[in-house]
Structure 1
C-alpha cells in the first residue's frame, strides 16, 4: 500500500538480491564515534535511534581498509570484526528490514598521515603530506585490502558495503589526470585510469559473492577544474555496473573544490539533476544526495526520476525520526537540518566528535537520554532565543510545567536576524520546529512580556532559567554616537539606512553576515538553483570537465564599496567554520569587499572613520559605519534575582557571549534540560 503523500518515498526497492523497505538512506558520515570510547555501544545506540525513526538503509561512516588510509576507524583484520558485529546485530534486532552497509574509505592523499599513498606524489591543496607514489606491488596491496575489508564487513553482519570513489580520496585520484601522472597501465588513457576502481570492484565482488550489496560512490560532478568529463563519468558508471555493482551513489565534490555543495547557501536538491542524467546511463538503482533535508524534497526528486534512492545524512543528525514523522503526517514536527555544518562537518574535519547544532543529542544518545521526569516542576524560562527554546521545549517534553517569557513579539532571538541573511533562509525551519514543539508539549508562551525579578519571585517557580541572550557591545571610540554609525541589528532588520560606502567594524560571524547582506543584490542563490549555479560557475546544462571548467561566476553585487575591518592581526575570517568559512570569504572577495586586519580605531567624524594600520593613519571616507564589535551577556535580570536571594540558572548568550554561538547555546540548554 503506497503512502498518499509520499508514494515514491515509501515504495520498496530491490537492490541486487535484497529489498529496501523505503527510498530514504541515512548517508555516510564519519562521526568520531567509530574510533572513540565504547565505539560499539555508542554507534549502536546512534544507529538504532535512526532505525526506529523509519530509515530504510544506513551507510556507516568511512572505515579504512588499510593502515595508510587515514582515520582511526579501520577494518583490516579479524580482530576488528567483533565491534562491527555488535553494531549490525543491534540494527537488525531493532528492525530486520533495515539494511546497514559499511562505507570503505581510503583517504589517499587526504589521509593526514606520513604514510599517505596515491597514484602519483601530488600533494592536495588541503592535504598535510605529499603522498607516496604507489608502485605496482603497492597498488595490488591496496586493491586486495578493499576486497578483504568487504569480506570482513560481510563476516561482521553488514548487508553490503559502499566503496567511495570520489571527493579526492584514493580511488578518485586514480581517475583524474591532474592527480594521476602515471605512464604505466594504471595511468595515461581513460581506460588505464579507471582500471583501479574497476579492479577494486571486481575483486570485492569475488570476495563477497552475489548476494552482498556493493555500492560505488562516484563523483558525478567534481566541481573541480581538471576533473572528470561527462563521458568519463558515464562510461565509468556503465563499467562499474558490468563489474557487479548493485547501486551507483552520486557525489558532487572534491574536498578542495572552490564550489560549495553542502552549505546552507546551496539550494535544496541542487545537484539531483546530475544524478538524473546519470540514471539514464545505467540500469542499476542510483542514489542522489546533498541538501535534501525534508520529505517533500525527497519525494519530488524521486517523482522526477532523478534518482531511485535519496541519501539524507545530516538530516538524520538533526532528527532521527524524520522518516517516521513523514509517514505519520507530522512533517511540522521535523527538526530540519539547516546545512550550517557547525557541529557536524566542522567537527569531523577538526578531529572532534560530530553532533548537530539543532539537535545536541546527536551522537550522544547513550549519555543524553530523553526520559520523563518523576517529579514535575514549575519552571520559568526567560528568553525565547535558541537556548531558551531548547530548554523550554525539552523540559516540557519531559513533563515539567514550563512558562516561557520573551519581550519580543516572536520567538527566535538572534535566529530572527540570521534568517534575514541571504543564504541563511533555512534558519526559519528551526523556528518553525520550536514553535510546533511549544504547542505540542504545552509550553505556556508569553511573548511581548518583559518579566521582572519581582514577577518571577512572586510566581513561585521551582526553577528560573535565564536565557536573555546578549547585548551588542558598543566600543568606546570618540564619535561612536555620530549619525553615520548604526547597529548591526538595525541594518539586518532593515530599520537603518545604509549608504554606498560602508565600513563594518568587526569581522566575526556577524560582520560577515552583515557584509553579505549589504553587498548582495537580487534573488538569493539558496532559493534558486539557476542563480546559485551562475554565482559559483557551475554549468549543469553542458557539464564541462569537472562541471566548472571555463565557466565564469556571475557576481550579484549591490555595488557598494565595503570595508570589513577587525582589530586582530590574524587573517580576516579565520575564526569562521572550517567547511563554510571559505565560501563566505570567497563570495565577499568576488564582490570587492576589502578585508583588513590589524585595525586600530581612532575616531569617527564627518570625514568618516579614522583608523591606523601598522601605525599609519588612514581615513575611510564612508557614508555608513556598522558596528559589529562583539557582544556582552545580558545579565541584568539574573543579577537582580541573585541580589534578591534567588539562584537562577544562566544559559546561552547570557552565560557566554564572546561570539554568538547557537551550537553551544542549544548544547548547554539540552544538557541542563535533560537533568532538570
Structure 2
C-alpha cells in the first residue's frame, strides 16, 4: 500500500506520514470485496446483472446501492450568473433564477434507481465560465438556489437489490474550470495558447491567479456542501483547465507549475488537498482523471500511474475517468464508437494496483449488458452513464426488473444533447423529448370527457412519438402506415455506418405501441381522404405524419438507368458500381457516402470490432505513445466516390456540431472527392455527369449516380383536408407533424419532439390552426451565445 508524506514545494508527489481518512473501509453492508467477486448466495444476486446491482462501500461516505454513476453532462439547467436586473432588461422581463427544472430532472433519475449523480459543470469563478454569464458557485445567494436540487434528490430512496434496504440517492456538484475552452474573452490557461474550438486566445495564469483559483475551488466546494450536495467532482480531464496544466501540449511554463510532471500535477493536487481539508471526512470527492487524452503531446501512461495514487492520497474518494479532449481527432461518444470501446483503459489502471479507491469506466456504455460485462471483467468498480439516462431515466429500474427490452436506449447521436449545449440551448434527447423538460412536458391522465380517438397516418418517428405520448394521457389512437413495418425513414438511417443503433429506437417504439391497450396498429394500410371520410364517425381528430419524399433535382437525363435514388441505395434494391457520383452533400449525401465506403456483401459496418475501431482511428491501446495516439490504419477505398453540392463552401456545413467532423474525417479517409459550387448540366447517354464549376465545363465518368438532393413534404393528405374541409373531417381537426410539416434531412429530432409536444396539449377543444406546433422557447444562454457569435464572426 502506498503511503505519503506532506507535499514539499519541490515535489508534489512526496509521501506523507498519515493515511487519508476517506480510504475505503471494511463494511458489514459491503457484501463483496471487488466488483469481480460476486456473492455465492443466489438470494443476493441479480440473475442477469449481478455486478451491476452489487452495492459499493465508499468508506466514510457510506454505501451506494448499485454500481452506476450518472456522469456529468451540461444540460443548460444549471442556471447562469447574469444579474437578474440585466437579464430582465435585455432578454426576459419574467426571468427567474430558480433551479426547479434542474431539481425535477435529477429527481426523475433518482426515482429511476440512480444512487449517485453528478451535475453539469459549474465554475468556481468568472474566468472558468463555459460562456458569458454561465453557471457558477461563488456566493451565498447562488448556494441557496441549489438547495431545491439537493432536497429533491434526497427525497428519493433507491432500493438495494436482494434486500429490503434502500439508500438515499446522492448528488455531487461538478466543479469545472474551462481554461482555454472558454467561450468568452477573458479565458486563462497554464500557458498563453488558443484552443482550436473557441475563438478567444487564453492568457497564462500568474502564480497569484493559480493560488486564488485553488481558493475559488475550495470556496465552491464548501458552498456545495452547505447547499446539501454530498460531494463534488473536480473536472481534471477532457482538455479543460486542469488537463491543460497536466499536459505538456498546453503547459509550457518554466516555474514550479510547469516542466516536470511533478510540477504540472501540482495545481490539481493543491485543489484536491485544499478541498479535503475544508470539508467533512464523509464528503465525496470525485476526480475526473484522463486516461486517454487522444491528442498529440498529451499525458503519458506513466504519468497517469503517478497521478492516480497521488490523487487518492490527496483525499479523492472515487476516480472517474475521462476519454479524449474535445479537440481530439478520435470519436469517443458517438454511435460510431463500439459499446465499451474504452473500458480497456480503466482495466489497465485497475490492474496496475496503484489505487484502492473505486474506479469508474465511461463512454459508450448504454445498455445493461455492456455495463455488466465491464464490471464482471473487473475493468472497473463502477460505470458512468450520462446520455443513456437522458434517454431513459428509468434505465436502472427497468434493468432491475429484467425489462431491458423496455429501455429507451441512447443511440449516441448527440443531436439534442451536446449539439444543443454547444449553441447555448437547453439539452434534451432525440429519443426522449421530455429530458430536461420534465416540468414542461408533463404526462397527465386526462378525464374521460377529454379523451379522444385519434387517427394517425404514418408510423415514422413523428407518428410513433405522438401515438405513444397521446396514449399515455388516455387518448385512444389508431396508427396507420402503408408499409409493413413501423419506423419510416429510420429504417433507412439504421443501415448507415455509425447509425446502426437507430434500430434500438424502432425496437422501443414497437414495444411501447404493441404493449399499449390504447393503440391500434394497422400496418400495410393506406389512408386517403376517402378513408378519412369513411372513418369520421369513429375518429375525432387526425394527425398527418406522412413524412417526406425525395426532392426532384430536375437534371436533364436523370431518368438514365444508372441514376438511383438514395432510397434504392440504402435499401439495397439496385447494384452500385465502383465509380459513383453523389448529387447533394447534406446529411443524406454524407450518409450514402459512408454507406458505399463500408458496404460489402459479406460484411456490414456493424461487424467492426473494438480492436478494428482502435486501428481505424489510431488509438494506442497499449499506451506506448503520449496521449494514447498512434498512426491510423490506411485501407484501400472500396469505391471511387465524388460528392457534389451546388453551394460554395464546406460540404456538410449543416451536419451536427459535435459529429459532423467525424463524417468528414471518414469520407476524407476514404479519399472521397468533395466538390462544391456545382451547376449540374446533364447526365448523358452513357450515364456520365456533366457539370459547370467556376465557369469551366467538367465531366465525371462514373458507373452510378445517386440523387441525394434533399426532400420535400409528403402532405397531400393534409392539403386535401384543407381544400375539402368537410364537416365530417374539418381541417381544424387535422394536424400535421414531422417531415410532412416541414421537410428536413432525416430530422428525427424535430419529428419526435413535435409528436411529444402535440400529444401534451391535444384535447377536445384544441384546433390545428395557428401555432399548433410548440417549440421550447430560446433560453437566456442561447440568446447570449447567438449575440456573442455575432460579434466574433
TM, length-normalised to structure 2: 0.84
Aligned with 1:220: secondary structure?
strand
* Contact residue 266 and residue 525 of structure 1 kept, 8 A: no
Pick aligned residue for 1:10 from 45, 53, 57: 53
Aligned with 2:761: secondary structure?
coil
* Contact residue 107 and residue 170 of structure 1 kept, 8 A: yes
Indicate the residue corresponding to 1:201 in structure 2: 272
Kindly indicate whether residue 658 of structure 2 is the aligned counterpart of residue 579 of structure 1. Answer: yes
Pick aligned residue for 2:746 from 649, 660, 664: 660
Cα deviation, 1:448-486, whole Å, max 9, x if unaligned, reads: 111222212221211111000001011111111112210
For residue 423 of structure 1, report the CA deviation from its aligned partner.
1.5
Cα deviation, 1:337-376, whole Å, max 9, x if unaligned, reads: 0000000001111111100000011101111101112122
* Contact residue 407 and residue 508 of structure 2 kept, 8 A: yes
Indicate the residue corresponding to 2:516 in structure 1: 441
Counterpart mapping for 1:130-169 below 5 A: 130-169=201-240
Indicate the residue corresponding to 2:766 in structure 1: none
In structure 2, how many angstroms separate the alpha carbons of the residues matched to 1:234 and 1:574? 41
For residue 658 of structure 1, report the CA deviation from its aligned partner.
3.6
Pick aligned residue for 1:592 from 671, 688, 695: 671
Indicate the residue corresponding to 1:223 in structure 2: 294
Aligned with 1:343: secondary structure?
coil
Cα deviation, 1:647-670, whole Å, max 9, x if unaligned, reads: 210000000004321000011110
Pick aligned residue for 2:577 from 491, 499, 503: 499
Indicate the residue corresponding to 2:483 in structure 1: 408
In structure 1, how many angstroms separate the alpha carbons of the residues matched to 2:311 and 2:761? 51
Indicate the residue corresponding to 1:489 in structure 2: 567
Pick aligned residue for 2:446 from 362, 373, 381: 373
Counterpart mapping for 1:336-485 below 5 A: 336-374=409-447, 375-442=450-517, 443-459=519-535, 460=537, 461-485=539-563
Aligned with 2:78: secondary structure?
helix
Pick aligned residue for 1:28 from 72, 85, 108: 72
Aligned with 2:99: secondary structure?
helix
For residue 148 of structure 1, report the CA deviation from its aligned partner.
1.1
Indicate the residue corresponding to 1:612 in structure 2: 692
Residues 326 and 557 of structure 1: is their aligned pair in 2 closer, same or farther, counting only changes over 3 Å?
Answer: farther
Cα deviation, 1:305-335, whole Å, max 9, x if unaligned, reads: 1111111100111011111111112111110
Whose radius of gyration is greater, 1 or 2? 2
Kindly indicate whether residue 156 of structure 2 is the aligned counterpart of residue 77 of structure 1. Answer: no
Residues 244 and 166 of structure 1: is their aligned pair in 2 closer, same or farther, counting only changes over 3 Å?
Answer: same
Kindly indicate whether residue 362 of structure 2 is the aligned counterpart of residue 289 of structure 1. Answer: yes
For residue 127 of structure 1, report the CA deviation from its aligned partner.
2.4
For residue 523 of structure 1, report the CA deviation from its aligned partner.
4.7
* Contact residue 459 and residue 488 of structure 2 kept, 8 A: yes
* Contact residue 562 and residue 704 of structure 2 kept, 8 A: yes
Kindly indicate whether residue 394 of structure 2 is the aligned counterpart of residue 321 of structure 1. Answer: yes
For residue 114 of structure 1, report the CA deviation from its aligned partner.
1.4
Cα deviation, 1:568-590, whole Å, max 9, x if unaligned, reads: 11210111001100000011001
Structure 2 spans left out of the alignment, 5+ residues: 1-43, 81-95, 158-166, 763-793
In structure 1, how many angstroms separate the alpha carbons of the residues matched to 2:322 and 2:718? 49
Indicate the residue corresponding to 1:43 in structure 2: 102
TM, length-normalised to structure 1: 0.98
Superposed CA RMSD = 1.3
For residue 397 of structure 1, report the CA deviation from its aligned partner.
2.0
Residues 322 and 526 of structure 1: is their aligned pair in 2 closer, same or farther, counting only changes over 3 Å?
Answer: farther
For residue 527 of structure 1, report the CA deviation from its aligned partner.
4.6
* Contact residue 12 and residue 20 of structure 1 kept, 8 A: yes
In structure 2, how many angstroms separate the alpha carbons of the residues matched to 1:465 and 1:440? 21
Indicate the residue corresponding to 1:312 in structure 2: 385
In structure 2, how many angstroms separate the alpha carbons of the residues matched to 1:640 and 1:526? 46
For residue 537 of structure 1, report the CA deviation from its aligned partner.
0.6
For residue 519 of structure 1, report the CA deviation from its aligned partner.
1.2
* Contact residue 264 and residue 526 of structure 1 kept, 8 A: no
* Contact residue 544 and residue 740 of structure 2 kept, 8 A: yes
Kindly indicate whether residue 685 of structure 2 is the aligned counterpart of residue 641 of structure 1. Answer: no
Aligned with 1:91: secondary structure?
helix
Aligned with 1:582: secondary structure?
helix
Indicate the residue corresponding to 2:127 in structure 1: 68
For residue 249 of structure 1, report the CA deviation from its aligned partner.
0.5
In structure 2, how many angstroms separate the alpha carbons of the residues matched to 1:617 and 1:564? 17
Residues 392-401 or 252-261, more deviating: 392-401
Counterpart mapping for 1:137-286 below 5 A: 137-280=208-351, 281-286=354-359
For residue 500 of structure 1, report the CA deviation from its aligned partner.
1.2
Aligned with 2:576: secondary structure?
coil
Structure 1 spans left out of the alignment, 5+ residues: none
For residue 547 of structure 1, report the CA deviation from its aligned partner.
0.8
* Contact residue 138 and residue 216 of structure 2 kept, 8 A: yes
Pick aligned residue for 1:126 from 163, 187, 197: 197
